[in-house]
Amino acid sequence: GGGGRTGRAARTRDDGQRYVFDQVVLCGGLHSDTLARLAGDDKGPAIVPFRGEYFRLVPQRANLVRGLVYPVPDPAYPFLGVHVTPRVDGTVDVGPNAVLGLAREAYRRRDVSPRDLLATLAWPGALRLFREHWRMGVREMHGSLSKRAFTEAARAYVPDLTAADLVRAPAGVRAQAVDRDGGLVDDFRISFLGPVTAVRNAPSPAATSSLAIARHVVERMLEHRPC
């Protein structure tokens, strides 16, 4: 597939078919920067994937926690840090950490894409980010490789927790937008490219407020729409 824009029309291609639209809104998540570049917006930010790994309390220990437990956020980072979340099905998740994904969709540790990794390393902002925050990166990787280290971090909030209480749970991948200077983008970033509107970054709580965000994007899109 592919896409582009010509005058007032946005066009896309997929499986040999060509489609033309008056307006297209790009919400690509982990691939938002790639889609924006296809539409002619190459100024950044770039997406750097961070895998967030979780553990889950074994059923017989789910009664350890009955409410949400969050650490005080560090203003230097957009990551919440390890927290404890009871789910509606009765399970209790502990996490996530934040480790560099070796692929855009690195939901498992063994998921590696040389192309994605090279793209990350080629972005100047990513290298500046790694140089500035390498200590945190080492600490997060230690927690990823060592269940004991992960448990110790969580014990700050649940002192009775032990490593035997935890089993691996599914991971997620954060589409972290990083500016060219290495800054972590923690606010909305939207590019208006004639008939194409590219949502470059929509941070948490984007899912919670998705309908309000959609309304805002449409209103801004109409303001920038070519006459």
Q: Domain range for residue 34?
A: 2-45+186-224
Q: Compute the average pLDDT of residues 22-33.
A: 93
Cα separation values, 35 from 8, 20, 192, 218, Å? 18, 16, 13, 18
Residues 35 and 122 in one domain: no
- C-alpha 17/C-alpha 151 separation (Å) is 52
- Residue 92 pairs in a beta bridge with 86
Q: What is the pLDDT of residue 5?
A: 57
Residues 22 and 52 in one domain: no
Residues 74 and 125 in one domain: yes
Residues 142 and 160 in one domain: yes
Cα separation values, 181 from 184, 185, 188, Å? 9, 11, 17
In total, how many domains does the chain have? Answer: 2
Q: Which of 177, 193, 187 is nearest to 123 (CA)?
A: 177
CATH number of domain containing 206: 3.50.50.60
Residues 89 and 123 in one domain: yes
pLDDT digits (tens, 9 = 90+) for 112-166: 999 999 999 999 999 999 999 999 999 999 999 999 999 999 999 999 999 999 9
Residues 213 and 120 in one domain: no
Report the predicted TM-score, pTM, of the whole model to 2 decimal places: 0.88
Helix axes 124-132, 134-145, angle to 10 degrees: 80
CATH number of domain containing 73: 3.30.9
Two tokens, residue 155: 């014990």
pLDDT digits (tens, 9 = 90+) for 161-193: 999 999 999 999 999 999 999 999 989 999 998
Residues 92 and 54 in one domain: yes
Residues 151 and 213 in one domain: no
